[in-house]
Structure 1
Amino acid sequence: MGVSRLDKFYRRLLLTKLFIGGWGKPEDLKRIFEFRKIIGNREKCRFLVPENYPVYINKTEDHSDCQIHEGFFISPLEHLVPGILPPEAVNARFQFIVPKRWKKNRPVCIHLAGTGDHFFWRRRTLMARPMIKEAGMASLLLENPYYILLRSSLKNVSDLFVMGGALILESTVLLRWLEREGYWPLGMTGISMGGYMSSLAVTNWPKPIPLIPCLSWSTASSVFTTGVLSKAVNWTELEKQYAINSVYEEEIIKLLEYCGHFCFLRSFHADNTPRDNTPRGKNTDSTKYSRPSLHRESISFMKGVMDECTHMANFSVPVDTSLIIGVQAKEDAYIPRTGVLSLQEIWPECEVRYLNGGHISAYLFKQNVFRQAIYDAFDRFCLKYPNLH
């Protein structure tokens, strides 16, 4: 199966560069990788977020078919890994869209934001409001930590990992709050990056829950190394930092568990290219280290750090994978599936539905298919766990 021409064309229209700041502070990477070892294990996370974690509603708007509540709470990541979040993102913000008339039960689906999905209007217009009309289902839209007030893309590679840790914990806060408020059943969804993040969040939830990841897959590593978004990555800066600062190769690689240190060394030196073994330091001129293998080493390092923090095999398996319905585009050029474990290999009972076309066409024209998958997953949950509330 080929890849979508529209995906390639659309990517060329966008001038945005990813990771213009580089890898991020080495100390931040070390801290988030160590925290990943905790948050990747559901049992270790049972008591990270208190049951009665405070959530506040500070605004309510009344509409003909629904009420729209806006609220906030302090991200638990600020307590657990102090200072890792930018100050603007310490307060997690959300919008809760509740129908005035419920059709059956009081179902709520949490929607996590896709790449560039700033604020709430896109998810509210394309998903939440139609879901009220079609199914009488409420939606809770959680703002992305790096999109709150910033309106910017990810500046550092480490930002993506901090975002993931924050969203896992923030989703737990909201699921517990919704339970306390008497809503049922509860589920999670997201499109593109939102699909990845909702999948990560569900791995941490200790109960069966519907999950509907749309246009996402088992890891983000291929997105930034072989997908069309890899062309938007600022490889020049990443290679420069990797060459100058030995901490990435000598210390951070050793923290990666998914691929392992030996795998990286083998990948780096597979071409038998002689290396310049001159000691490196932070203030060394990077031009001295323009070795032929540097680009390949940087890509391998990117794959390793991405797999460490985004690969579903590095996290607990959701409690009931039969409640997962993924929706994929057959010709998706943004989310390559070749060469990586499939969702079915990691979560054997999950269902994957395939759409014709690519990432962009699916996002623009198949929102109704995403919504139907949500309804089907919720129905499946209600049939299997009618008394689990």
Structure 2
Amino acid sequence: MARVLRTHPVDVLFAGLSRRARLFSQGWGDEQFLEEVAAAAPFQQRPPPIAPEWSAPRLQRGLQVRDGTFPSPLARLDAAARTAHVRWLSAGQGPSRGACVVLAASREEGFSLRERMYAPLAREGIDLFLLENPYYGLRRPVGQKGGALRTVSDHVLMNLGMVDEARALLAWLRSEGHARLGVAGYSMGGYMAALTAAVVPEPLAVAALAAGASPVPVFTQGLLSWSIAFALLDGPRRDAEQARSRLGRIFDLANLARFPPPRQPEAAVLVACRRDGFVPGDETLALHAHWPRSELRWVDAGHVTALFTERAALCAAIRDALSRVEATT
């Protein structure tokens, strides 16, 4: 077991600045929906087929870039979020070495961060498909400030939408003849990538970067919890611990231990940060234990700094996962 060092100070600074934009400032949201989610078995049905509409390709830093849209399979999303937006990065020539859907991290709006991080993979011949999260960027509802979602139910809807849209896009890619497919993401994007891999029946590479088995400690104990006013979330009682406990029960529905491992866990590469103040290293170890034959790699960085200092390692995780997945036709 790799030794986890103390939290990186940049993580603490970032959390302190982020708490100014409170998460769930308008409470729990749609209570009926939250009850339905708790009672339902998610992802039992395949999303309906999609046919993305793509812009003409444009050349950007040596890559072909196309922007596409398709109706989200999750019709319950806010009206502003029902159209999925995706950016396609490709070398534009030569045989494809695979295709990977890359999901966004918490509060990550737009495509620029992921373009800068993973462009080397596209130049190597791996087609990248960057999905914009529901409720972020081009899909942000009126009245929402930045990526700070207003209610807990909005966050649950966003997560369900991320997985269903990734599944639909992967199915489209498979129908278009892409034989080697993967899904990846960092932080929340890594959690949702792992969940996508767990519910897709076909072989799928997965690079879960700075993610773990359960999101519960991230929202209730880690630095991200600084952005949640638990006493206000509880309403008139202002019982912070009661609210913290309920939020944990809701997010535990996405605990990967509740789902079977992906069909080909040896094509899963997990990356954990030794000085991560947001995602506990124990959670990544738990995911590694739940996914036999997956590979766990450690980087000596914090959750935030790894995005800048460990880009080569993050790209390598995606590249290696794709190289291991079974090709299908």
Structure-2-length-normalised TM-score: 0.90
- C-alpha RMSD of the superposition: 1.9
Aligned partners of 1:338, 1:199: CA distance in 2, in Å? Answer: 16
Count of aligned positions: 318
Residues 239-388 of structure 1 mapped to structure 2, 5 A cutoff: 239-240=234-235, 286=236, 289=237, 294-308=239-253, 310-338=254-282, 342-381=286-325, 385-386=326-327, 388=328
Map 1:81-160; keep pairs closer than 5 Å.
84-102=76-94, 104-127=95-118, 129-133=119-123, 135-149=124-138, 150=140, 151-160=146-155
- 8 Å CA contact 2:211, 2:284 repeated in 1: no
Shift in alpha-carbon separation, 1:4–1:77, aligned structure 2, 3 A: same
Quote the residue 2:166 is aligned against.
Answer: 171
Identity %: 27
Are 1:77 and 2:74 an aligned pair?
Answer: yes
Contact 2:269 2:321 in 1 (8 A): yes
Distance 1:95 1:307, change over 3 A: same
Find the aligned partners of 1:364 and 1:196 in 2 and give their Cα distance: 20
Which string of whole-angstrom CA distances, capped at 9 and with x for unpartnered residues, describes residues 177-197 of structure 1? 111222231111101111011
Gaps of 5+ in 2: 141-145
The structure number with the bigger radius of gyration is 1
Deviations 1:107-163 (A, max 9, x none): 111110011211111111221x22123x22110001101104324322111222111
Q: Whole-Å Cα distance in 2 between the matches of residues 165 and 34 of structure 1?
A: 15
Work out the CA distance in 2 between the residues paired with 1:31 and 1:92. 24
Q: SS of the counterpart of 1:359? A: coil
Deviations 1:26-69 (A, max 9, x none): 1121233344x132xxxx32xx323x433222443234733211
Contact 1:106 1:185 (C-alpha < 8 Å) held by counterparts:
yes
Query: C-alpha displacement at 1:340, in angstroms?
Result: 8.8
Structure 1 residues 67 and 105, CA gap change in structure 2 (3 angstroms)? closer
Inter-partner Cα distance in structure 2 for 1:328 and 1:339: 9
Structure 1: which 5+ runs fail to align?
79-83, 241-285
- Describe the superposition over 1:249-301 as per-residue Cα deviations: whole angstroms up to 9, x where unpaired: xxxxxxxxxxxxxxxxxxxxxxxxxxxxxxxxxxxxx2xx46xxx32222211
Q: How far off its partner does 1:229 sit?
A: 1.0
Quote the Cα distance in structure 2 between the aligned partners of 1:171 and 1:13: 31
